[in-house]
Structure 1
Amino acid sequence: MTNAFVYVTYIRTTPEKLWEALTEPEFQQQYFLGVQLLSDWKQGSAWKMVYPDGRVTDSGEVLEIDPPRRLVLKWRNEFMPEVRADGYTRCTFTIEQEGEMMKLAVTHEADGPHKLIENVANGWPLILSSLKSLLETGKGLSRPASKA
């Protein structure tokens, strides 16, 4: 049984700009709530998600890379022990041209129940809305204040 979260958005940009936003730390920091994904972006290479203070939030391996169309990451949370214990998930980014827009589909999946899939269902919509905002207006979104 696969457990998956899928999010699709349409962004007015080019495939090259969208790919750059997904793989370049300077872009990521502007829409990914302050973190960067660090890797040399080659198949089989390691990657990690890092806060400005050096804390690693998530990590994994580049399973597939086909610029500017497809990126598949093996993904594990590193800072929540109960989520880390569930092991790895897969996150697939697919980019397709739709007229003057790019269709970006993000599929984050696990074989069976996995706490990370529950968590990303809250995170990906904000991150991808911020990415869309950054590419279309030049400014990403900031994390909304927590409700007390």
Structure 2
Amino acid sequence: MMNKSMIIKKEVTFKATNEKIWDLLTNPEMTKQYMFGCEVISHWSVGSSIIWKGFTEHGKEVIYVKGKITDITKGKSVSFTMFDPNIGIKDIPKNYVVLTYKLIEFENGTKLTITQGDFNDSENAKKRYEESEGGWDLVIPIMKKLIEK
């Protein structure tokens, strides 16, 4: 077991309202444009499920991530558990990590803080941590482009 926590933390500032960023995060039509073609589907209430679904290159529908909403303040923050059922590890609680989006609106825009982890206790922790961090590095610039175009 490693003791170093494996938590990803990214902060992005958008020249846009809180409302616009919330839509970017929760609207399936928006997520499809930056999250590798995946639509986010949820009722956006505590305890409701959340899934990210998309299609393979062969047109087969796949659920890439699934979890449950654990905390939400509409328009301000949401936390949910997440698990990729396609990576060959057990679907058990310790293999789920928590992802939190927190929005803070200020005079010229909105700051989005993304926190994901802790991967430390999960199976394939280092690989999952590195892949997730790399994923955000690809996704964030696209998010900015979509909002600030």
Band the TM-score falls in, shorter-chain normalisation: 0.7 to 0.9
- CA distance, structure 2, for counterparts of residue 99 and residue 44 of structure 1: 33
Q: 2:128 maps to what in 1?
A: 116
Q: TM-score, normalised by structure 1?
A: 0.85
Q: 1:140 maps to what in 2?
A: none
- CA distance, structure 2, for counterparts of residue 17 and residue 118 of structure 1: 29
Instruction: Using the TM superposition, give the Cα deviation of residue 95 of structure 1 relative to its aligned residue in structure 2, in angstroms.
Output: 0.5
Instruction: Using the TM superposition, give the Cα deviation of residue 126 of structure 1 relative to its aligned residue in structure 2, in angstroms.
Output: 1.4
Q: TM-score, normalised by structure 2?
A: 0.84
Percent of aligned pairs with the same residue?
22
Instruction: Using the TM superposition, give the Cα deviation of residue 83 of structure 1 relative to its aligned residue in structure 2, in angstroms.
Output: 8.0
**2:145 matches 1:133:** yes
Q: 1:90 maps to what in 2?
A: 98
Cα RMSD for the two superposed structures: 1.8
Instruction: Using the TM superposition, give the Cα deviation of residue 54 of structure 1 relative to its aligned residue in structure 2, in angstroms.
Output: 1.6
Residue 61 of structure 1 is aligned with which of 68, 88, 110?
A: 68
Q: Name the SS for the 2:69 alignment partner.
A: strand
Structure 2 residue ranges without an equivalent (≥5): none
Q: Name the SS for the 2:31 alignment partner.
A: helix
Change (3 A) 1:125 1:84: farther
Q: Is the 8 A contact 1:72 1:90 kept in 2?
A: yes
Q: 2:46 maps to what in 1?
A: 43
Aligned residues: 137
Q: Is the 8 A contact 2:14 2:148 kept in 1?
A: yes
Amino acid at match of 1:75: M
Q: Is the 8 A contact 1:77 1:116 kept in 2?
A: no
